Every structure is written in C-alpha cells, then in structure tokens.
C-alpha cells in the first residue's frame, strides 16, 4: 500500500512538471496572431488593429519572443487604450527595440493609440491618415483640464514622452495641447498644420 501511495504521488508531481513545461515552453514563432497584433509573412512587419488593453504588454512580449526580427508596426485602426500604464510600458519597449510605426492608407489612431504610435523610432504614413487626441478623465469624472498645470496628475503622461526621448518642452507642449483640444468624451482630429507642428511623422 505504501508503495502504491508513493507511486501515485510521483505520478502526480510528474504530471505537474509536464503541465509546467508545456506552459513555459510555448513556441511563439509558430503563432502569427497575438490579439491586436498580426505578424506578416516576412516576420518583420506587424499589422495592428484594436484597442490597447492590460493584456497587450504580454501579447507584445510574446510576439517579440517568437518574432525577434520585427521592425515595423503598421497601424490600421487603434482607437485608444483602456489601460494607460500598460500602454506606456508597451510604448517604451517598442522604442527600446528600435521598432518603427506606420499608419496605413485610411488608417486611424486616436487617444492612447497616438501615444503608442509616437513610440516609433521612424513614424510614417501612406495616403490619408486620421490622428485623434483628447483629454482624459478620472474615476470621479474630473477632466484633465480641471487640474492646474502644476498638478502631479499630469506628470505620468509628460514623463512618458520624455522617456521616449522627446524634449521636456515638446512633451509638455504636446500633452497640454491634447487635453485642451477636446473633452474626454469627444475627439479632436489633428489638422495638417498641427501634425506638422508636433512632428507626428518623421518623414
């Protein structure tokens, strides 16, 4: 009986080991779809479509693990983010990896999608592209512009741009432009002049 119990325990732990290994040893190079990211046949280009969320950071990391030669993210329609903290982490990782961003013809980026796009080392577009910005609001319904410009509430967004390598002046100017351009429930589509002023595209 004692031997039977020991054998059962051994089989139990062997089973756990197999499950653990199979979970950790996922071959992400066999996948092309990582939620809002889809790796193209060349393994260097990625199509991005959808809202950035809490799981996007792990999706992005898994994608790069399986496809380390990714050099370009082509945004199709990225309306924003429901998790700014995650969005900032993904953006900083994108910049760290030296990846470029691009908006396809008739593509759209807005809100947190713009923040993500700005992380690209080179930022380009083709044809017509829409770039939308607006304010944020907190859980109490207060808008960003309800806080004085000296408030620490503004710091995370400004710091994100600085972490990407933008100057302190640009980071501050662009951030306050976005929160004054439209309320949280609305969106301001940037004009050609505004896009050129803030150097949204590098080419």
Query: Tell me, what CATH number does 135's domain have?
Result: 3.90.226.10
The pLDDT value given to residue 39: 98
CA distance 61 to 67: 10
Q: Is residue 4 part of a domain?
A: no
Q: Is residue 203 part of a domain?
A: no
Q: Is residue 168 part of a domain?
A: yes
Please give the residue range of the domain that contains residue 118: 29-197
Q: Across residues 91-113, what is the average pLDDT?
A: 98
Nearest to 103 by CA among 71, 132, 121, 76: 76
Q: Is residue 5 part of a domain?
A: no
The pLDDT value given to residue 2: 41
Q: Is residue 9 part of a domain?
A: no
Q: Across residues 44-66, what is the average pLDDT?
A: 98
- Mind giving me the DSSP string for 43-109? SSEEEEES-B-TTHHHHHHHHHHH-TT--EEEEEEE--BS-HHHHHHHHHHHHHTT-EEEEEEEEEE
How many structural domains comprise the chain? Answer: 1
What are the contacts of 28-33 at 24+ separation with CB within 8 A? 28/62, 28/63, 28/65, 28/66, 28/67, 29/66, 29/67, 30/66, 31/62, 31/63, 31/66
What six digits make up the tokens of 37? 């990211």
Sign of CA dihedral 165, 168, 172, 177: negative
Q: What percent of the chain has pLDDT over 90?
A: 85
pLDDT tens digits, residue range 132-185?
999 999 989 999 999 999 999 999 999 999 999 999 999 999 999 999 999 999
pLDDT tens digits, residue range 104-146?
999 999 999 999 999 999 999 999 999 999 999 998 999 999 9
Determine phi and psi for 157, rounding to 5 degrees: -70, -45
Average pLDDT, the chain: 91
CA distance 46 to 23: 25
The pLDDT value given to residue 11: 41
Contact in structure between 144 and 153 (CB atoms under 8 Å): yes
Model confidence band, residue 1 (pLDDT cutoffs 50, 70, 90)? very low
Q: Is residue 23 part of a domain?
A: no
Point out the least confidently predicted range of 19-23, 57-61, 81-85. Answer: 19-23
CA distance 58 to 90: 9
Q: Is residue 2 part of a domain?
A: no
Buried-exposed string 6-40: b where 16+ CB fall within 10 A, e elsewhere: eeeeeeeeeeeeeeeeeeeeeeeeeebebbbbbbe
Q: Is residue 166 part of a domain?
A: yes
């Amino acid at each position: 009986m004692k031997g039977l119990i020991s054998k059962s325990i051994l089989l139990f732990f062997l089973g756990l080991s197999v499950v653990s290994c199979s979970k950790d040893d996922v071959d992400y190079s066999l996948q092309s779809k990582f939620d809002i990211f889809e790796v193209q046949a060349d393994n260097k280009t990625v199509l991005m479509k959808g809202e950035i969320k809490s799981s996007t950071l792990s999706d992005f990391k898994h994608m790069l693990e399986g496809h380390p030669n990714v050099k370009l993210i082509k945004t199709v329609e990225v309306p924003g983010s429901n998790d700014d903290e995650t969005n900032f982490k993904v953006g900083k990782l994108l910049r760290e990896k030296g990846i470029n961003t691009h908006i396809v013809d008739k593509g759209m980026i807005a809100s947190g999608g713009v923040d993500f796009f700005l992380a690209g080392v080179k930022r380009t577009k083709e044809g017509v592209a829409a770039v939308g910005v607006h304010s944020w609001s907190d859980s109490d319904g207060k808008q960003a512009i309800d806080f004085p410009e000296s408030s620490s509430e503004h710091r995370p967004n400004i710091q994100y741009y600085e972490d990407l390598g933008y100057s302190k002046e640009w980071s501050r100017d662009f951030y306050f432009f976005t929160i004054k351009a439209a309320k949280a429930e609305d969106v301001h589509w940037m004009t050609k002049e505004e896009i050129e002023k803030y150097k949204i595209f590098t080419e």
